[in-house]
């Protein structure tokens, strides 16, 4: 059997479509020894496989992943477009910062795309201009459409896609599927609050596939913002807030967690409004959440 190297483009019912580096598509299955190792191939994985025909390949090995996400199940993600509503559903800095921390921890670059901006009053727009400026100051790319899904904002997204594997993510109703449909009208993804509400909670396994868009690969299944759990120890949380991490080296105590310690450069930066108050408040909330978490001794124990 000939051996090939490629990236999984589609996972469906135990079959994996792999695109080789020279552009050939093979349908493969995973050998049983992956199950024994509790290792499941994911869309985005780079694999070595053997095949005699385009429809009868077997995955032999999976390259080490640089990261992976659960919803949708994709590996080796370069960036996530975090679709964030300013209204309907209501704006939440807590949710956005939760998503950003989770992505930073996985070493995935976030791009923040605000939706429903045309529903804001002038006063609300002015309030958000400070928020947008704050996130840009931290170093995040922020796309703020003047009108819903206007050409300028869509062009900004399209220019980000080349040579990257991209996933769209955000809470239900924020406009993920609508944004994907605007970037690629041929997708015709289901949109609307009702269809999304009905599909939530069902245990149907939808296929995930990568589509070639503007020189990059985009997952055609949007992800949800189900980041309830932080995996890192509380003392490491500050590493995943870029601006807190920047100031931390100037703190008096090594290992300062920027809460009650004296001569804390981070608290000083907050006092001087060099760090957004909402970001620091969310840092403290997340810290308390992690620090107060009881250790889980038995994953199968459903009692809390």
Alpha carbons 132 and 142: distance in angstroms, whole number: 7
116 known ligand binder:
yes
221 is in an annotated binding site: no
**Residue 166 is assigned to a ligand binding site:** no
Three-class SS of residue 32? Answer: helix
264 labelled ligand-binding? yes
Q: Any binding-site annotation on 118?
A: yes
Tell me which residue has tokens 């609300």: 124
Burial label, 251 (beta-carbon count in 10 A; 0-12, 13-18, 19+): buried
Instruction: Give which of 229, 261, 232 is closest to 248, Cα–Cα.
Output: 261
Q: Is 115 marked as binding a ligand?
A: yes
What is the rounded distance in angstroms from the CA atom of residue 196 to the CA atom of residue 200? 6
Is 258 flagged in the annotation as binding?
Answer: yes
Retrieve residue 141's tokens: 């790319």
Answer yes or no: are the C-beta atoms of 140 and 153 closer than 8 Å: no
Is there a binding annotation on residue 57? no
Has 171 been labeled as part of a binding site?
A: yes
Q: Tell whether residue 300 is among the known ligand binding residues.
A: no
14 has binding-site annotation = no
173 carries a ligand binding annotation: yes
Q: Rounded distance, CA 267 to CA 274, Å? A: 10
Distance CA 263, CA 274 (A): 16
Is 87 annotated among the ligand-binding residues?
no
Answer yes or no: is 172 a known binding residue: yes
Q: Pick out the residues of the known binding site for GTP.
A: 115-118, 170-178
Q: Which residues are annotated as a binding site for Zn(2+)?
A: 251, 256, 258, 264
Q: Which residues line the annotated binding site?
A: 115-118, 170-178, 251, 256, 258, 264
């Amino acid at each position: 059997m000939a051996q090939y190297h490629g990236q999984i483009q589609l996972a469906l019912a135990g079959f994996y479509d792999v695109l080789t580096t020279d552009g050939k598509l093979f349908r493969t299955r995973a050998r049983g020894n992956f199950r024994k190792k509790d290792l499941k191939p994911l869309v985005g994985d780079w694999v070595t496989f053997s095949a005699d025909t385009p429809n009868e390949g077997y995955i032999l090995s999976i390259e080490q992943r640089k990261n992976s996400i659960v919803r949708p199940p994709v590996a080796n993600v370069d960036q996530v477009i975090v679709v964030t509503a300013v209204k309907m559903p209501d704006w939440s800095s807590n949710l956005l910062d939760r998503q950003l921390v989770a992505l930073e921890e996985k070493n995935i670059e976030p791009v923040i795309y605000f939706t429903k901006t045309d529903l804001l009053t002038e006063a609300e727009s002015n309030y958000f201009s400070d928020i947008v400026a704050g996130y840009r100051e931290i170093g995040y790319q922020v796309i703020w459409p003047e009108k819903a899904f206007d050409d300028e904002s869509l062009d900004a997204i399209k220019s980000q896609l080349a040579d990257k594997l991209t996933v769209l993510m955000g809470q239900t109703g924020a406009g993920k599927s609508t944004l994907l449909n605007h970037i690629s009208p041929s997708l015709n993804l289901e949109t609307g609050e009702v269809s999304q509400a009905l599909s939530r909670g069902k245990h149907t396994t939808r296929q995930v596939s990568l589509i070639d868009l503007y020189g990059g690969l985009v997952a055609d299944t949007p992800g949800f913002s189900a980041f309830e759990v932080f995996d890192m120890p509380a003392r490491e949380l500050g590493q995943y807030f870029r601006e807190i991490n920047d100031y931390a080296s100037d703190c008096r105590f090594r290992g300062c967690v920027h809460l009650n310690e004296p001569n804390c450069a981070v608290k000083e930066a907050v006092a001087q409004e060099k760090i957004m108050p909402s970001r620091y408040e969310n840092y403290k909330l997340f810290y308390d959440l992690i620090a107060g978490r009881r250790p889980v001794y038995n994953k199968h124990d459903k009692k809390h």
